[in-house]
Structures are given as structure tokens and as C-alpha cells.
Amino acid sequence: MTRGRLVVGNWKMNPATIKDALALARTVGATPHAAVDIGVAPPAIALAAVTDALRSTDVAVFAQDVHWEASGAYTGQLSVSMLRGLAAGAIVGHSEVRRDQGDDDARIARKLARALGAGLQAILCVGETEAEFAQGRTASVLKMQIARDISEVSDLSPERFIVAYEPIWAIGTGRPASGAHASAAAQTIRAALDASGASADGIRVLYGGSVSAASVSEFAAADGIDGALVGGASLKADEFAAIIRAFAP
Ligand code: 13P
């Protein structure tokens, strides 16, 4: 099964202003890129401006999170209906959102079901903590996260469902996982998807955690890894472009 490559820049709470986000989006949109799907996930407040700026390009725009309810009294949150037309999809279950919003796997499962049910793409993030890694528990943690996070979804279409393996200890630390560790994680993730009845072969698995122009070749060559979810390095258009190029077939 040939899976297309995908590189998504998660801008997190950056850049400083909507104007800066627009400038970055325009540069990404103007950079030629062959045979790699590209996405950016700007902060919610910049979604409309960035989507507008990228409308005539093939760069997909993602929200960084989405609420599990359709509407209601949820101050500060975004619903799937608000994202429709503004974003191709959403990141769901990022470890920073799990940490800061208190999301557990039950909540992530509802967010994922809500996003996919609304026809959005969803990039589900999973990954172990530093302590779990040190204890050799990566595989068991991933199996449990996948089983729980997809428990509310019946249709995991490979066109819309993507998994990002993001070991928490590698995020923002400048200490990426090895390609071999990422490959093993991707294999575990696909086995867990298969065990839950999904057809994992076509589902893309990205690696995220300190991906940079210097570290990307490790992941571009890693078996079972179909792209990257890039944080800090996606804020520098040149470096993001170099990461994208590394994944070109
Ligand atoms: P860094 O690339 O900054 O480590 O962030 C990774 C990440 O969390 C992407 O979602």
C-alpha cells in the first residue's frame, strides 16, 4: 500500500500576531513542493486569515483542537461547525492540550468522533512520557491510547484519519526519537488500529518531536513513517521547506 507523504506545521501559540501568521502562511504557500501533502495548524484566532491566504494553494489548514460537543456553553472553545469551511481538519489529542485542558482519552475519543463525524480530517496525537519511555513502556502506552482514543469512531477512513506519534519527551527538547524507535512505534500503532478493526495499512502515521532540517532524514527514511508533525521548525519557512523536501519521494 502506498501512502502519500504529509508534513504539517503545528504553530502552537505562535507567531506573535495575526499579521505575522499571514506572512508565514504566504511564504509557505509560495514555496514549491513536489509530491508531499502539506498542512499548517495556526492558532485559532488566525485560522480565517490563514485559510484566506492559502485558498488558491494546496496547503491544507488545520485547527489545533476542536470541542467534543456540537455547540453550547463552552467558553473559549471551537466547534466542528465553526471549523467547516475554515479548516480541512483538526489536530486532536496533542499532548499540550491533554496537559493544559485536562483532556483524557475518553474526551479525546469524543473529540475524534466529533471531528470525523463532521467530515473533517483529524490528526490524532499519541505518545509516551519520558518516564514511560525509560521504563520501556512505549508499546503498551500506545496500544492503550489508540484503543481508547478510537473507541467512539466506527469509520476510520484513511483519507481523513491520520495518527501522529509524538513522544512527549521529544517535543520541544531538541532531542528527537531515533528513526528506529519511531518505526517501532508506527508498527505498534498500526497493529493497535488493526486490532480495533480499522484497516491500518492505508492510515498515515506521522512522527513529531524536535523534527528539524538536521534531524528529518532519520524520519524520512524510517519504515512506516509517512511524514511529520513539526512544531518549532515550522515557524521558519526555509527550514519547514527543507523538512518537506526531505519527505519528497
Ligand atoms: P517540536 O517540533 O517543537 O518539538 O514540536 C512537536 C510538536 O508538538 C508538533 O505537534
What are 73-88's pLDDT values in tens digits? Answer: 999 999 999 999 999 9
| 132 flagged as catalytic | no
What is the average per-residue pLDDT within 189-213?
A: 95
What digits encode the pLDDT tens for the residues 203-236? 999 999 999 999 999 999 999 999 999 999 999 9
How would you write the chain as a 3-class SS string?
Answer: CCCCEEEEEECCCCCCCHHHHHHHHHHHHHCCCCCEEEEEECCHHHHHHHHHHHCCCCEEEEECCCCCCCCCCCCCCCCHHHHCCCCCEEEECCHHHHHHHCCCHHHHHHHHHHHHHCCCEEEEEECCCHHHHHCCCHHHHHHHHHHHHCCCCCCCCCCCEEEEECCHHHCCCCCCCCHHHHHHHHHHHHHHHHHCCCCHHHCEEEEECCCCCCCHHHHHCCCCCCEEEECHHHHCHHHHHHHHHHHCC
Q: With 80 as the cut, is the pLDDT of residue 144 above it?
A: yes
With a 6 Å cutoff on the Cβ, whether 188 touches ligand 1 is no
**Percentage of residues in the chain with pLDDT exceeding 90?**
94
pLDDT reading at 116 higher than 90: yes
How sure is the predictor about 1, in pLDDT bands with cuts at 50, 70 and 90? low
Task: Output the average pLDDT for the chain.
Answer: 96
User: Is the predicted pLDDT of residue 172 greater than 90, yes or no?
Assistant: yes
pLDDT tier for residue 34 given thresholds of 50, 70 and 90? confident
Instruction: Specify the length of the chain in residues.
Output: 249
| Distance from Cα 73 to the centre of ligand 1, integer Å | 31
Domains of the chain (ranges; CATH) run 5-246 (3.20.20.70)
Q: Please work out whether the CB of residue 210 comes within 6 Å of at least one atom of ligand 1.
A: yes
Q: pLDDT > 70: what percent of the chain? A: 100
Model confidence at 199, pLDDT cuts 50, 70, 90, reads confident
94 in active site: yes
What is the per-residue pLDDT for 127? Answer: 98
- Mutate which of 64, 169, 210 for ligand 1 pocket (most atoms within 8 A of beta carbon): 210
What is the structure's pLDDT at 179? 98
